[in-house]
Amino acid sequence: MARSFSFAKNSLFWQVAIAGIILDQISKLWVSQAIDPVGTTWPLWSGVFHFTYVLNTGAAFSAFRGGAGWLKWLSLAVSVGLIIFAGKVSLRKLEQLGYGCILAGAVGNGIDRFLFGHVIDFVDFRLINFPIFNLADVSINIGIAALLWASFFPVSSRKTE
């Protein structure tokens, strides 16, 4: 028997996804308007934490540089798959948080790839020489951490909504 799709299922998933997309897009808009031109850096804690405006044509942390063409389709496929999944399956709260964060990151960076052919990265931890990233990347990593936590510490039954 096929499960019916409903936006009423997994309300936390939808709330997290929508809030994450909005925060990501607002932060990128702010960076593109406040920190110009590309390559400009604002030290918040000199040598440790900066906002640095860069355009990334690759994936998270600049992996697959120049791969925006196929990455936009991957973002779309992941997004559609998560939307269908969350509309059909009842998830525990931690799973909703995890999948919602992953959807927010995939949609946030996907929007940029489809519209501009790149994403805006700006979070720059220089103390550990970490690649520059954005809030969509953070959201995806929070989502993965939440899903790992949920898989290592499962409860006996799924919550139904």
Q: Is position 121 annotated as part of the catalytic site?
A: yes
Q: Is position 24 annotated as part of the catalytic site?
A: no
Quote the CA–CA distance of 81 and 62 in Å, as a whole number.
24
Residue in 115, 103, 31 with CA at minimum distance from that of residue 72: 115
Catalytic residue among 24, 112, 124, 137: 137
Compute, in degrees rounded to 10, the torsion defined by CA atoms 139, 145, 149, 155.
30
Catalytic residue among 24, 112, 121, 124: 121
Quote the CA–CA distance of 147 and 154 in Å, as a whole number.
10
Q: Which residues are catalytic?
A: 121, 137
